[in-house]
Structure formats: structure tokens, C-alpha cells
Amino acid sequence: MALNPEDLAPLEVALLGVLCVGLPPSKAAGDDRFRIDHVTAVVTGLQAEGRPDVHLLPDGVAVTPAFRLALRETIVALTEKGVLADQAAGMPAAAGNFEAGLAIDMVQPDEHPALLDRYLGQLCMEVLFNIPAVYPYLMGRYAASGEVWRRLREAGYGN
């Protein structure tokens, strides 16, 4: 069964859209604000309430336990639908997809699942870009990603 963004819950749309943005691994970036849980929490807060901090702890980086649980449940649901592959702990993951042998960012499965349905992810990303409160945030993350990816390539990433 083919899914569309309107078939999904807002958190599912947010997660799939964030996975498609092309963010670098947070550890390689040296910035936890590139973590999938953080970016998805900010997007979800902007999407629902127009505030980026709704699902963040006072440090402005870590997500609340309630959001972490909701994200975990969302990953499980999307895995059951065949949209994501929930990876075992310690598996390497690249932003938006799985690449065998990539060891830059060792992640936990509740932080970065592998996206299997790239088309649905792209549609979800377009939905997010059409939300006025979300667009500047995601474009800011995307712009900051360019510098990180440039630095990684200069250091031999992908060779």
C-alpha cells in the first residue's frame, strides 16, 4: 500500500521529512543540534505550536523524555509500515539513508533509523518546507550542513 503524507501523523511526517533534509551525522558535525531527535523535536514544536522549544529540555538541545518516547513509538510504527528500518544499536547511519561501512557516526536506533521509502520522505520534506514557521529553521540546518559536508569531504569522506 502506497502511503502519502496525509496518511501519516504529524510526528511521522516531521521525522520522515527531517530524514530527507540531508543532515550530516551529528558526531561528525560536532554539534548535537544536528541529531535527528533534536531536529525532529524542533520541527514538531514549530509545526504544532510555532515554538521551537516545546519538546526540548532547558538546555535547548536535549529532547524531553516524553518526546523521546513518542519518537520511539513513531519509529516502531513506521518500521511496521515498511517505511523505516529500525537499526540495531551501534549501526552506522548516514543522514537520510543507510550506507554499509560508514562509521563516522555510531548512532542508537531511536536517533536515526534508515529511511526505506525515499519518495515518501521527499513528499514529507516538501510538506515541512511549506509550513512558514518550519521553513527557515530547516533551511538554516541545511545551510549549516553544507559547511560540515564540505569539511568531511576535504577530510576524505566518501573516498
pTM higher than the cut 0.95 = no
Name the grid cell of 29.
Answer: 558535525
Positions in the chain whose pLDDT score sits under 70: 1, 87-112, 158-159
Residue spans of the domains in the chain: they are: 7-154
Residue ranges of the alpha helices (H) in the chain?
10-19, 26-29, 36-49, 65-80, 118-129, 135-154
What is the predicted pLDDT for the residue at 1? Answer: 67
At position 142, the amino acid (one-letter code) is Y
128: nearest Cα among 62, 34, 42, 65: 42
Residue 93, SS3?
A: coil
What type of residue is 27? K
d(CA 27, CA 81): 29
**pLDDT score recorded for residue 113:** 79
Please report the pLDDT score of residue 88 as a whole number. Answer: 53
Return all residues near 18 (Cβ < 8 A) that are at least 6 apart: 36, 39, 40, 43, 125, 128, 138
